Structure 1
């Protein structure tokens, strides 16, 4: 693989103003519609954690069997994302996004009629996993890249936070609804919301400003709509095979496997039942998870600022070390009610939750140049692979040992390993990058 030049990290400079107020409004409206889709898809990521206890009580299924659906969902979410851009460029952003929301809605509605654990895996794991995998940062990047010249970074940041917003907005409400009405009415309601958003996407989203004869926001020249590409998926696979010949890729992927296992993998699926083991009400536990989400967004923003100023490798080492300490302390701070120590845990853990993303993006760009974003996409797939394994193994360990304590200890040790891995990351040599 030939050495590429580094990709600029800042928006392209421009001094021109938008062509018209109408054009400005159209671009922002497109961003709002895209954000609505990402918010809704994000709401489905935390639902499995609310379902483990109710499904275990209603059907007498093992927690590990229930968590397997969340595991499959996370893995497919991660491995769909690298190909989502190719599919959108081939078939159109609007069609793929509307179809993805429809797939999510169908998967959620079908759980109302399930009778076996394999059906939960099929409906929630496969259908919702594939649908939500199309509505990640790949989707956001395409929207901002086509519709915005000015404010691109702002819109990208807002859309990247939309998934967390879905968790923050819906999770406490869903936890309250599950507690009050059982699990089926909230899931069906959320599915109907997904159906409505699918319709909104189909009606109002547009693939490109040229579709409506407009300029991108802040652009000074008309941009023709690109022709459908057929080689994007092939390039995505080629970049993976080229990067896989370098040690840097395996260090980045290995760190992100651990990152996924120690964040959304264990927390989104097992936090509520783990807190329930300590006597905490599900609604209270969901509120704490939302608090973690608030500080995750703040931590990601702060981490981006720090990444511009400090060595990303050292930042990653600090983040993973702090995460290891918080997970190790978790069995001692969990209790039946909220207390100051638990709030401190939520704040510190939240600040380092998503903080690993900006340094890994920076390292990917520095090491692989123009291929860096695609390399990061595959690294993010490794993140979801770790998350899926952790969701399943964490619940299985709870079945075997009757407690999550061994899980927190093991994940803490894994974080310390990731901290050491971060310190030895280096740019691949010319020989490694050569074809």
Structure 2
């Protein structure tokens, strides 16, 4: 198979952009899967009579496993291969969502949309982008990671109104069917167009010299689970890991955890319809694509710590502004533009800092654990927002507190020091 690819793909180093294109679409569709339970909640409640807290538990299970699976997926990509891992993930996602069409009990939703789709989508997440960037690019890493990070967040925001339209017209089953078909279509695309490494098609990483030999991860041999946990154990002894983990926890807390889960409900409290609120999320998605890609370009040129300081400050101030904005059309557009530009612009500089601190060999796995912190923060904010709404009667204090955590993250980012005198030294070359 690799020799066939080598003969039929005479693009040299530029074939890396073909791989990026396939991964971009993969991240986009996987993000759409993760947004689906939000629009299926009411139709499931109405058609099957399930309690909303039970449905929420299934969705929360998927979010949690989506984050937890990341570091193990990064190690598995080294152990059995990138292509095999992705194909297996899409088979799992497509099969589990198709199986959910026959659900009659709530526990089946937890298993299909929670456990199986959570694990599968966790392999097609931010950590996948980090692995592809390290394998296929020597230069322009920040720009490419920004583009792929934007695809994930944009997929979540753009697919939400599309899936909501399906749910509104036909209930939850058309949503499940659409997701199953979309993920199944990616299986041949990945199998045919994504070689294992640049060397598989007789080339080197983009921007590298002809004699470039990329580092090989220790996870390529031995027990990948033990290596993943061992990498976490060693990373956890460093201060930089906890700074990165804390800032990304706040990143999740202030994005898909609070805004992604509760913004529509917040707008509803202000008399704004669900379709209009979903459109606001779509507008954020468009500006996120611009902002995060531009963030990647900036990451290649400027101090990533200062960039994070700016990003988290802007996000924090935007969240504090929203409850006092009056929710007029102009105010919401201003919020959508500034917040959208900053939605997940933090990913490229965070990945660069992770690679600088932990090296190209262990960087993707450590980054996977940092992304897991992002999902823990998102889950905490999803629950926190609901609790504050019940206690206060509105979301105002929840958004103000979230904004304050953004300012804290900006301060933490400036304290990061990526010097790594002994952690995961790169192999010496003669």
Secondary structure in structure 2 of the residue aligned to 1:45: helix
User: How far is 1:353 from its partner?
Assistant: 1.7
Counterpart among 267, 273, 285 of residue 293 in structure 1: 285
**Aligned pair partner of 1:350 in 340, 346, 357:** 340
Q: What residue number does 2:273 align with?
A: 281
| Aligned CA distance change for structure 1 residues 54 and 401 (closer, same or farther; 3 Å) | farther
Pairs within 5 Å for 1:413-424 = 413-424=404-415
Which residue does the alignment assign to 2:124? 135
Question: Given the superposition, is the C-alpha separation of residues 158 and 352 from structure 1 closer, same or farther in structure 2, using an over 3 Å criterion?
Answer: closer
Residue matched to 2:70: 81
Distance verdict in 2 for CA 1:98–1:69, change over 3 Å = same
- Give 3-state SS (helix, strand or coil) of 1:36's partner: helix
Equivalent pair of 1:49/1:273 in contact (CA under 8 Å): no
Gaps of 5+ in 1: 1-17
Structure 2: 5+ residue runs without aligned partners?
1-5, 426-430
Distance 1:199 1:400 in 2: 50
Q: Compute the displacement of 1:347 (Å).
A: 1.0
| 1:65 Cα offset (Å) | 3.9
CA contact 1:146–1:216 (8 Å) conserved in 2: no
Deviations along 1:365-389, one digit per CA (max 9) or x if unpaired, are 4444454444333211111111122
Distance of 1:369 and 1:149 partners within structure 2? 13
Q: Deviations over 1:131-178 (max 9, x none)?
A: 011112443444455566787776555444332343355333222222
Equivalent residue for 1:71, pick from 57, 60, 65 = 60
- 1:183 and 2:172 matched: yes
Aligned-pair distance for 1:407? Answer: 2.4
Contact 2:71 2:367 in 1 (8 A): no
Q: Per the alignment, do residues 377 and 23 of structure 1 end up closer, same or farther by CA in structure 2, a change over 3 Å counting?
A: same
Q: Does 1:239 align with 2:231?
A: yes
- Report the CA distance between 1:41 and its aligned residue: 0.8
Q: Does 2:327 correspond to 1:363? A: no
User: 1:8: which partner in 2?
Assistant: none
Check if 1:380 corresponds to 2:371. Answer: yes
Q: 2:386 aligns with which of 375, 382, 395?
A: 395
2:10 to 17, 22, 29: 22
SS in 2 for 1:44: helix
- Per-residue deviation, 1:334: 6.8
The verdict on how the C-alpha distance between 1:117 and 1:418 changes in structure 2, with shifts beyond 3 A counting, is: farther
Matched, 1:412 2:403: yes
Post-superposition offset of 1:61: 5.2
Alignment of 1:21-40 (within 5 A): 22-23=10-11, 29-40=18-29
Residue in 1 that maps onto 2:296? 304
Deviations 1:262-316 (A, max 9, x none): 1012233333333333333333222211211222232223333444555444433
Question: Aligned residue for 1:162?
Answer: 151
Cα distance in 2 for residues equivalent to 1:83 and 1:403: 39
How big is the shift at 1:217?
A: 7.4
Cα distance, 1:402 vs structure 2: 4.7
Output the aligned Cα RMSD.
3.8
Match for residue 314 of structure 2 among 319, 322, 325: 322
Partner of 1:353, secondary structure, is: coil
Distance 1:129 1:69 in 2: 10
CA deviations 1:168-211 (Å, max 9, x no partner) are 55333222222222232122222122122224434554434666
Q: Which has the higher contact order (CA 8 A, sep 6+)?
A: 1
Q: How many residues align?
A: 414
| Equivalent residue number for residue 97 of structure 1 | 86
Task: Please tell me whether residue 265 in structure 1 is matched to residue 257 in structure 2.
Answer: yes
Q: Secondary structure at the match of 1:97?
A: helix
2-structure distance, mates of 1:217, 1:432: 24
Q: Paired residue for 2:3?
A: none
TM value normalised by structure 2:
0.81
| Inter-CA distance 334–58: structure 2 relative to 1 (3 Å threshold) | farther
